[in-house]
């Protein structure tokens, strides 16, 4: 059985329409047996905080002497009702859901590291073979690994740097790095793995850095640090491994950009592909800036520059932030007016400026890049295929992800700004997809209000009652890595928010040859918790009562909305025998059709406006002179079939 994630609180930008709802409890507390990642390239993971070193190390620990400590201050202790789970080890955290291969790859892992193997503790053992306890017996562990008292009176402006590998399920992250300067009476807590996805093994060892100067200042010669597995998170799996801890003197000047965003809604969604007709006139841009140095950063600002893929600048905007105190962070949140932007890919580069930026200790963490594409007709929350090499992170979920739900519903939200017609959906398939008659896809659109009503969430009311046919996955689809499914008839969409739903069916097994459907999930850029949803037909609470069915699993499921008939269904329309020439044209466009009957022609600009129309039988010549030079969409239809082709007017 696979875990269903809670609906709310997965991202700060959750829509206001559900912001007042209470977070529900987790209905199923059993973790995933193995990661379901499609590929996890080597990359700098978000919010890791930079490389190790760079400053003077005044205290360190590599656990080569076990809990007795290999540091200037003394032995480590373990505290809490489950303190005995903390171990110093050289082997990985083996458990029912954790292979030993998930061992930390820290600088000195071979001489020992600290390990909290919560997955292992939630098992029974037959020799070296673990068996998971029943879910009702899973324990939310409470324990800390506590340092000796450390004297930092000579160097109070410091950061703590350590390496870790972690994975957690099935609540909030329980992993906290904490600091005390009063003998352990009070602890200041930092979430140790902020930015890492629930229930996913990141596959890499990361470095985390925390500025502890404000706590040290209370009593610099009485400092302790601890690694706290907090039971209040409601989390019982998988593991936390820590090694190579350093206390390092802070640089005088060090600015960092933690994240950046480009949102067309202002609610946190960052659409990867935006049809020109759905690109609003303004965009919400912003970034979080942290002063990690010991000195005040004066006259700080964030600059956002949007460029084409070729590097041509289309927009530059600077948001002033003023002075930023040591250890403080500020979010630059702004709205900008967008100029006319042609079809194509764009990069938004955010960078920090201040009076002392040229003295910054590490310049590589002063900027972030976001990517999006303006398309003729395709809308996608995901940006798979458009990221810079080595930065894309994919996961997948599908018909064998949840027990008893070999048929399930995946939904991706789309905000419609200008009324349009939807013609089809394109789904990027996960690598676990296997062809077969029983592996099927059906697509339709839903009102978000029907889905997000937790008390009676439903996927039974498609917009206008329109669905697609139920289509089986073929080997051709698997080889292509995608499938495009047209609606039985176009669906008219007024401005508002809609879910594009893919109802998928398969065998529901993990057997190699059984037909299954998996959908790719873009985990590269965090999205609001309701941007991608699942709806499980079979859902019961642990006490046997009916579950709520709808959950916030996934981040940006690659279910793409096609708002013209041009995408993915050209093969069906080719039989109309329509051709257009010359292309490009300087004004005169010839259109020829082998189909019988009257043909309708519409010429549509990038904003979706119909700028020329005509009717003909057999052939016609349209005069496009007088229109602005650029790209147009020409739709030819006879009531039963249509064909759309891009025309460039010079």
Q: Where are the domains of the chain?
A: 16-35+393-562, 57-249, 255-379, 570-649
- Which token pair is 331? 């979010």
Q: What tokens appear for 274 in the block? A: 């935006």
Q: For residue 1, give both structure tokens.
A: 């059985």
| Chain centroid, CA 206 distance in Å | 18
Closest CA to 330 of 268, 257, 262: 257
Q: Residues 27, 29, 35, 36: what is their CA dihedral angle, to the nearest 10 degrees? A: -20
102: phi then psi, degrees, rounded to nearest 5: -85, 30
What is the per-residue pLDDT for 25? 25
Percent pLDDT > 70 in the chain is 88
Q: What are the b/e assignments for 552-574, b being 16+ CB within 10 Å?
A: bbbbbbbbbbbbbbbbbbeeebe
| Alpha carbon separation from 431 to 103, 273, 397, 436 (Å, rounded) | 25, 22, 10, 15
**8 Å CB contact between 635 and 642:** yes
Place of tokens 């540091």: 71
Q: Torsion angle, CA of 591/595/598/601, rounded to 10 degrees?
A: -30
Measured between alpha carbons, how far is 506 from 518 in angstroms, rounded to an integer? 9
d(CA 365, CA 259): 10
The yes-or-no answer to whether 16-35+393-562 and 57-249 have a common fold is yes
CATH of domain 570-649: 2.60.40.3080
User: Which runs of consecutive H residues, i.e. helices, occur in 494-620?
Assistant: 570-573
CATH number for 57-249: choose from 3.30.1020.10, 3.30.70.120, 3.30.460.80, 2.60.120.260.
2.60.120.260
What angle is formed at CA 313 by the lines to CA 312 and CA 314, rounded to 5 degrees?
Answer: 115
Q: Given this model, what pLDDT does residue 430 score?
A: 96
Residue-level pLDDT at 607: 63
Q: How far apart are CA 34 and CA 169, in angstroms?
A: 12
3-state secondary structure of 223: strand
The CATH fold of domain 255-379: Immunoglobulin-like (2.60.40)
Question: What pLDDT digit, counting tens, does each position of 134-151 carry?
Answer: 777 888 889 999 999 999
Distance between CA atoms of 178 and 187, rounded to whole angstroms?
6
SS3 537: coil
Q: What is the CA radius of gyration of the chain?
A: 28
- Pairing type for strands 367-375 and 273-275 reads parallel
- What SS3 class is residue 367? strand
Quote the tokens at residue 423.
């013609």
Dihedral of the alpha carbons of 276, 279, 283, 285, in degrees to the nearest 10? -60
d(C-alpha 421, C-alpha 439), whole Å: 28
Q: What is the pLDDT of residue 153?
A: 96
Q: What is the DSSP letter of 6?
A: P
Ranges of residues in the chain with a pLDDT under 70 are 1-54, 197, 542, 564-576, 606-608, 639-640
> What pLDDT does 54 receive?
57
Find out whether 372 and 273 touch, Cβ atoms under 8 Å: yes
CATH number at 16-35+393-562: 2.60.120
- Helix or strand holding residue 502 (H, E): strand 496-505
């Amino acid at each position: 059985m696979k875990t269903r994630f809670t609906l709310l609180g997965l991202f700060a930008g959750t829509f206001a329409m559900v912001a007042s709802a209470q977070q529900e409890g987790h209905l199923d507390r059993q973790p995933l047996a193995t990661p379901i990642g499609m590929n996890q390239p080597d990359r700098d993971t978000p919010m890791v905080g930079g490389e190790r070193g760079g400053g003077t190390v005044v205290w360190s620990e590599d656990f080569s002497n076990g809990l007795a400590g290999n540091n200037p201050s003394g032995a480590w202790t373990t505290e809490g009702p489950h303190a005995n789970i903390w171990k110093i080890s050289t082997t990985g955290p083996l458990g029912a859901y954790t292979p030993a291969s998930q061992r930390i790859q820290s600088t000195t892992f071979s001489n020992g590291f600290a390990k909290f193997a919560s997955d292992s503790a939630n098992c029974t053992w037959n020799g070296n073979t673990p068996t998971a306890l029943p879910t009702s017996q899973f324990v939310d562990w409470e324990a800390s690994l506590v340092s000796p008292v450390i004297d930092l009176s000579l160097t109070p402006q410091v950061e703590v740097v350590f390496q870790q590998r972690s994975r957690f399920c099935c609540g909030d992250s329980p992993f906290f790095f904490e600091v005390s300067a009063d003998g352990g009476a009070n602890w200041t807590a930092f979430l140790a793995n902020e930015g890492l996805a629930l229930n996913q093994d990141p596959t890499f060892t990361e470095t985390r850095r925390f500025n502890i100067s404000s706590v040290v200042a209370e009593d610099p010669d009485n400092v302790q640090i601890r690694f706290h597995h907090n039971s209040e998170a409601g989390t019982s799996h998988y593991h936390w491994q820590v090694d190579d801890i350093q206390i390092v003197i802070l640089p005088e000047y060090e600015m960092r950009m933690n994240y950046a965003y480009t949102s067309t809604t202002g609610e946190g969604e960052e659409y990867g592909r935006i049809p020109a007709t759905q690109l609003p006139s303004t965009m919400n841009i912003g970034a979080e800036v942290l002063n990690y140095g010991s000195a005040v950063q004066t006259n700080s600002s964030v600059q956002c520059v949007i460029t084409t893929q070729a590097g041509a600048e289309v927009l530059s905007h600077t948001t002033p932030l003023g002075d930023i105190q040591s250890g403080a962070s500020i979010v630059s949140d702004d709205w900008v007016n967008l100029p006319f932007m042609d079809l194509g890919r764009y990069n938004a580069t955010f960078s920090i400026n201040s009076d002392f930026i040229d003295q910054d200790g590490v310049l590589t963490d002063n900027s972030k890049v976001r990517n999006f594409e303006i398309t003729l007709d395709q809308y996608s929350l995901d940006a798979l295929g458009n990221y810079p090499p080595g930065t894309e992170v994919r996961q997948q979920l599908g018909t064998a992800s949840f027990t008893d739900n070999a048929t399930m519903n995946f939904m991706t939200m789309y905000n419609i700004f200008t009324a349009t017609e939807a013609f089809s959906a394109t789904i990027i398939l996960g690598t676990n997809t296997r062809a077969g008659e029983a592996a099927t896809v059906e697509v339709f659109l839903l009102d978000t209000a029907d889905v997000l009503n937790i008390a009676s969430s439903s996927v039974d009311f498609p917009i206008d009652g329109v669905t697609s046919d139920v289509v089986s996955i073929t080997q051709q689809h698997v080889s292509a890595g995608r499938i495009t499914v047209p609606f039985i008839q176009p669906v008219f969409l007024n401005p508002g928010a809609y879910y594009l739903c893919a109802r998928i069916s398969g065998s529901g097994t993990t057997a190699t040859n059984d037909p299954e459907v998996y959908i790719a999930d873009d985990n590269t850029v965090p999205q609001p918790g309701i941007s991608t949803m699942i709806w499980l037909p079979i859902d019961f609470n642990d006490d046997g009562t009916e579950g709520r069915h709808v959950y916030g699993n996934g981040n940006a499921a690659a279910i793409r909305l096609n708002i013209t008939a041009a995408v993915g269904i050209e093969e069906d329309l080719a039989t109309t025998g329509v051709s257009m020439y010359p292309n490009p044209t300087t004004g005169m466009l010839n259109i020829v059709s082998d189909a019988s009957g009257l043909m309708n022609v519409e010429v549509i600009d990038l904003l979706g406006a119909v700028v020329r129309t005509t009717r003909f039988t057999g052939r016609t010549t349209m005069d496009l002179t007088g229109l602005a030079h650029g790209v147009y969409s020409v739709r030819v239809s006879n009531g039963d079939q249509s064909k759309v082709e891009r025309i460039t007017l010079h």
